[in-house]
Amino acid sequence: MDPRFHLLPSRPTTAFLGSPKEAATVLDRLIAAHMAPRVVLTNPDARRSRKGSPSPTPVAQVALDAGIKVIHDPGDLINHDFDLGIVVAYGKMLRSDLLAQAPFVNIHFSLLPRWRGAAPVERAILAGDTVTGVSLMEVGPRLDEGAVFASRRLPIDAGATAAMLRRELAELGAQMLIGALDAGEGAFGSPVAQDGEATYAKKLVPGDLRVDFTQSAELIARQVAVGGAWCMLGQRRVKIIEAEAFIDEAVVGDVVDSANQKDPGSFIGGYVICGNGYLRIDTLQLEGRNPTAFEAWQRGNARSQGELKFA
């Protein structure tokens, strides 16, 4: 462990590094606890939609609203004096000169060493994990390999989405961090080296979320829970926004007999046939359209229903 952690005072001066909503939640909780950082390093303003104007990251917006200085170049952080750096979903490896400037602590959304890397929550869901968590860890020169100061577990309940889990993990991480900052000297004094098999949470690509209806309904439902699941309907791309898997034929009821005559991707009543089980889609979004309830979409396409099939 970096010996500088032992020298931290209670409520040390900090710099905050992060960009997305979850990081903004942590920053907001720090501000509310009267532990606002001196400076925030976040991604530059960018378009959040194809037609929108460039806008600040969620972290930058929280910082600007609180009157905290915002910078975008990691090199500019060298010009600021702080006792501790706080990293939350920053998404970039820290330069050696920054690590030499001060100790850094990271709020990472997994129970390390499982799911080091860019997409820990999403990979946990796709893998069918039943539990996840958040780790307060030391930042070192290698990806998510630092010692862990504290961790909290969180069950992945049925129906939980990645967005829901990230919100809960951000709150748990903020609580751990604020408690450590408030405790002062010794709060970061007993880290535990990561133990066990390491797994890596690679950044998701569109192919990870392409739905293959020859696969099990449970796997497809996990893709939907991650967010961004998609398939094709003819030549049009379709996002599946909300869905539930059914494996037990007794739950699906009378559709089973007719389903046996249909291919995966075909519609049977309010369900889509999968390689194993059935997917009930609640909400979908056709390319260029607003999200709509699946039942309403089916009613609007009743005449061509027999010709339609997801692929």
State both tokens at 144. Answer: 């998510």
Convert the pLDDT of each residue in 139-189 to its tens digit: 999 999 999 999 999 999 989 999 999 999 999 999 999 999 988 666 677
Q: What is the pLDDT of residue 199?
A: 97
274: CATH: 3.10.25.10
CA 287 – CA 282 distance, rounded (Å): 17
Q: What is the pLDDT of residue 234?
A: 86
Q: What is the pLDDT of residue 52?
A: 73
Task: Tell whether 240 and 157 lie within a shared domain.
Answer: no
Task: Tell whether 271 and 126 lie within a shared domain.
Answer: no
Pairing mode of beta strands 84-88, 14-18: parallel
Query: Of 182, 201, 220, which residue constitutes the final position of a domain?
Result: 201
* pLDDT band, very low/low/confident/very high, at 250 (cuts 50, 70, 90): low
**How many percent of the chain have pLDDT more than 70?**
91
Task: Tell whether 240 and 283 lie within a shared domain.
Answer: yes
Task: Tell whether 132 and 13 lie within a shared domain.
Answer: yes
Task: Tell whether 287 and 239 lie within a shared domain.
Answer: yes
Task: Tell whether 108 and 240 lie within a shared domain.
Answer: no
Task: Tell whether 195 and 226 lie within a shared domain.
Answer: no
Task: Tell whether 90 and 117 lie within a shared domain.
Answer: yes
Convert the pLDDT of each residue in 226-239 to its tens digit: 999 999 998 899 99
Average pLDDT over every residue of 220-247: 95
Query: Of 151, 173, 201, which residue constitutes the final position of a domain?
Result: 201
Task: Tell whether 225 and 158 lie within a shared domain.
Answer: no
67 C-beta neighbours (distance < 10 Å), count:
8
Rg of the chain on CA atoms, in Å:
23
CA-to-CA dists, residue 61 to 16, 24, 69, 308, angstroms: 13, 8, 11, 44
Q: In the 8-state DSSP scheme, what is residue 44?
A: P
Whether the pLDDT of residue 270 is over 90: the answer is no
Which residue segment(s) compose the domain that 264 sits in? 206-307
CA 9 – CA 186 distance, rounded (Å): 9
Task: Tell whether 273 and 196 lie within a shared domain.
Answer: no
Q: Which residue has the tokens 């709060």?
A: 187
- With residues binned 3-state (H G I as helix, E B as strand, rest as coil), the percentages for the chain, rounded to 5, are 30, 25, 40
Q: In the 8-state DSSP scheme, what is residue 53?
A: P
101 C-beta neighbours (distance < 10 Å), count:
17
Whether the pLDDT of residue 10 is over 70: the answer is yes
Type of residue numbered 276: N
Task: Tell whether 144 and 248 lie within a shared domain.
Answer: no
Convert the pLDDT of each residue in 204-216 to its tens digit: 999 999 999 999 9
Q: How many independent structural domains does the chain possess?
A: 2
Convert the pLDDT of each residue in 11-39 to its tens digit: 899 999 999 999 999 999 999 999 999 99
Task: Tell whether 215 and 296 lie within a shared domain.
Answer: yes
Query: Of 180, 201, 222, which residue constitutes the final position of a domain?
Result: 201
16 C-beta neighbours (distance < 10 Å), count:
29
Q: What is the pLDDT of residue 205?
A: 96
33: CATH: 3.40.50.170
